[in-house]
Amino acid sequence: MKPAQMAAAATNIQHLSDRTLPQVPSAVLRPSYDRAGTRIGTVHFGPGAFHRSHQAFYFDRLLERDGNRAICAVSLKTRSVRDALTPQDGLYTLVEIDVVPTVRVIGSIREVLVATEDPTALSRRLSAPDTSLITITVTEKGYCLDGAGGLDFDHPDIVHDLGNPETPRSLVGWLVHGLQLRHERGLAPCLVVSCDNLSDNGTTLRRAVLAFAARRDRALAGWIEEQARFPRTMVDSITPATDTALRSRVAQALGMQDAWPIQREPFAQWVVEETDFAGQPDWASVGVTVSRDVSAYERAKLRLLNGAHSTLAYLGLLAGLETVAQAMAQPALRAFIERLMLEDIEPTLAVPRGEELIAYRQSILRRFENPAMRHQLGQIAWDGSQKLPIRILGTLADAIRAGRPLTRLVLPIAGWMHFLRAQVANNKPIVDPLCEQLTACAKRATGESQHDLAMFLELPGVFAAGLVGSAEFVRTLGGAYDLIARRGPLAAVAP
């Protein structure tokens, strides 16, 4: 084909949009509601892949029952999502990855804004009478917190926002600005729902918002404290990054192009704290769990799901494996993970209904074994110094206090240390906020616990004093470290 013909053909390629949606094959699930008749009632900050695979999916289902729940998706600074979705009228494809995948077009996003480019439009949306809900997925760093978990008033964005309250840069600045506009206009505050993996996310966000508001206006801070609600939440679904294979699969399924399709596993969970807010959605009607004790679900996820994930990552990578499914296909490793969850982690957990733990553990094992999911162990292994304290070390501390065995629980920690050694030995980067300290330790390590353990245990902010001071922990960890060095990870997990 000549260049001119190729250019002409390219212009004839159809893209997903409201106009082309009726042409999508019937095998693809599509919105069953009239998108044109919906109203925007939700502002969401952080429209990345997880939001579009998770909250926007739930709101797509809500719109079948309540036409006032469409989403205005807001990126604080980046334009990529806006540039991809606006020409598509906010439509995009979600693929649920399984042996037989489910392909659906999500229609809940009706508007995409970039805060830095159009602050006036965002201000109007936050202060609109129809807006009753604000949801958030901006990752932990988007909250501008200090080391103690409070608002960092020295953060450049917070400094800017206190001096320029009409054109904020930070999430907290925008939340306070929006709440102030609603207060001035006699409107009720929105329900503000953080969906980030932040411990006590709603309480932490509320504290940051009140601290910022108090610097601006004491009366406003008092109104927010009395009237606004910031429920805690827990969210769960594995969302691999969009890749070329996904784009090709979606183009074939749709018969047209989608600028930014999304994929996730079939499992999705959303737990929202019960709160007395009149304008909240009917969460339960679309499968959201409403509970007074979100922290129990959060703890179960961090320890059972995330703790097992990190264990698979470090031991699996040391065994030369690449994905979670490949690691679970190793009989010794799979059996070890199930024993770890059942005998070592579950005894530290409690949820409102005990049988939920059994079902949750079984669902995790099925998710890990999904052969269609290529969840990279290398990605899970990132940021170990930040993840392990909440995923594994807390469980270890509980086990020490209860006098339970530590043998299995120390293996992921020993695996992490050997993983660091392997990265340095193979000239691969260590992706971690403590990369300099970790690299230095790994370079000096010999593979013998008597020499190496003290260096790793002195890393700042990783191992609590109670663990380092436990002779049993140090002894058992040293034995696991030497066992992996001598026999390898798969032999180390054998019963």
Range of the domain at 392: 295-493
Confidence tier at 9 by pLDDT (50, 70, 90) = very low
Whole-number pLDDT of residue 49 = 96
Whole-number pLDDT of residue 119 = 97
Long-range contacts of 423-432 (CB under 8 A, 24+ apart): 431/381, 431/382, 431/383, 432/382, 432/383, 432/384, 432/385, 432/386
Q: Please, which residues bridge with residue 376 across strands?
A: 323
Given a cut of 80, is residue 121 above it in pLDDT?
Answer: yes
Given a cut of 90, is residue 11 above it in pLDDT?
Answer: no
Q: How far apart are CA 460 and CA 4, in angstroms?
A: 61
pLDDT tens profile 362-411: 999 999 999 998 889 998 999 999 899 989 999 999 999 999 999 999 99
- DSSP class of residue 323 equals B
Enumerate residues 6+ apart whose C-beta is below 8 A from 37. 67
344 and 220 belong to one structural domain: no
149 and 170 belong to one structural domain: yes
CB atoms within 10 A of CB 20: 17
Q: Which of 292, 322, 348 is the last residue of a domain?
A: 292
Q: How far apart are CA 82 and CA 59, in angstroms?
A: 19
Given a cut of 50, is residue 118 above it in pLDDT?
Answer: yes
pLDDT tens profile 178-203: 999 999 999 999 999 999 988 899 99
Taking 3-state DSSP, the helix, strand and coil percentages for the chain, each rounded to the nearest 5, stand at 50, 10, 35
Dihedral over alpha carbons 278, 351, 58, 366 (to 10 degrees) = 180
Given a cut of 70, is residue 447 above it in pLDDT?
Answer: yes
Q: Which of 292, 311, 344 is the last residue of a domain?
A: 292
Q: At what angle do helices 449-457 and 435-444 cross, to 10 degrees?
A: 170
Amino acid, res. 214 = A
376 and 266 belong to one structural domain: no
Give the DSSP H or E segment for 438. Answer: helix 435-444
Enumerate residues 6+ apart whose C-beta is below 8 A from 375. 238, 240, 323, 324, 325
Contact between 421 and 442 (Cβ < 8 Å): yes
CA distances from 302 to 289, 296, 490 (A): 17, 10, 24
Enumerate residues 6+ apart whose C-beta is below 8 A from 437. 459, 460
CA distances from 477 to 345, 421, 467, 486 (A): 17, 16, 11, 14
Given a cut of 50, is residue 92 above it in pLDDT?
Answer: yes
Whole-number pLDDT of residue 350 = 82
Give the SS3 label for residue 192. Answer: strand
Give the DSSP H or E segment for 423. Answer: helix 411-425
pLDDT (mean) for 30-49: 97
338 and 223 belong to one structural domain: no
> Tokens for 306?
């995330």
Whole-number pLDDT of residue 357 = 87
279 and 257 belong to one structural domain: yes
The percentage of residues in the chain with a pLDDT greater than 70, rounded to a whole number, is: 97
Given a cut of 60, is residue 1 above it in pLDDT?
Answer: no
Q: Which of 240, 269, 292 is the last residue of a domain?
A: 292
270 and 343 belong to one structural domain: no
384 and 432 belong to one structural domain: yes
Confidence tier at 279 by pLDDT (50, 70, 90) = confident
Whole-number pLDDT of residue 439 = 97
Sheet holding 102-106, edge to edge: 102-106, 92-96, 262-264
276 and 343 belong to one structural domain: no
329 and 221 belong to one structural domain: no
pLDDT (mean) for 242-268: 96
> Tokens for 405?
């065995």
105 and 246 belong to one structural domain: yes
Q: At what angle do helices 201-216 and 156-163 cross, to 10 degrees?
A: 40
What is the total residue count of the chain?
495
| Higher-confidence position of 147 and 82 | 82
Q: Provide the CATH number for the domain around residue 225.
A: 3.40.50.720
CA distances from 162 to 154, 209, 222 (A): 11, 12, 18
Structural domains in the chain (count): 2
239 and 325 belong to one structural domain: no
| Higher-confidence position of 9 and 21 | 21
Contact between 188 and 277 (Cβ < 8 Å): no
Whole-number pLDDT of residue 485 = 97
pLDDT tens profile 347-362: 999 876 667 888 999 9
Whole-number pLDDT of residue 241 = 86
- DSSP class of residue 113 equals E
Whole-number pLDDT of residue 375 = 87
Whole-number pLDDT of residue 353 = 67
Q: How far apart are CA 463 and CA 465, in angstroms?
A: 7
Strand 109-114 relative to strand 133-136, pairing:
unpaired
pLDDT (mean) for 246-258: 97
Sole residue written with tokens 């699969």: 249
CA distances from 274 to 40, 232, 271, 379 (A): 23, 9, 9, 34
Q: Provide the CATH number for the domain around residue 350.
A: 1.10.1040.10
Mean pLDDT over the full length of the chain: 94
464 and 366 belong to one structural domain: yes
> Tokens for 275?
């709160």
Given a cut of 60, is residue 451 above it in pLDDT?
Answer: yes
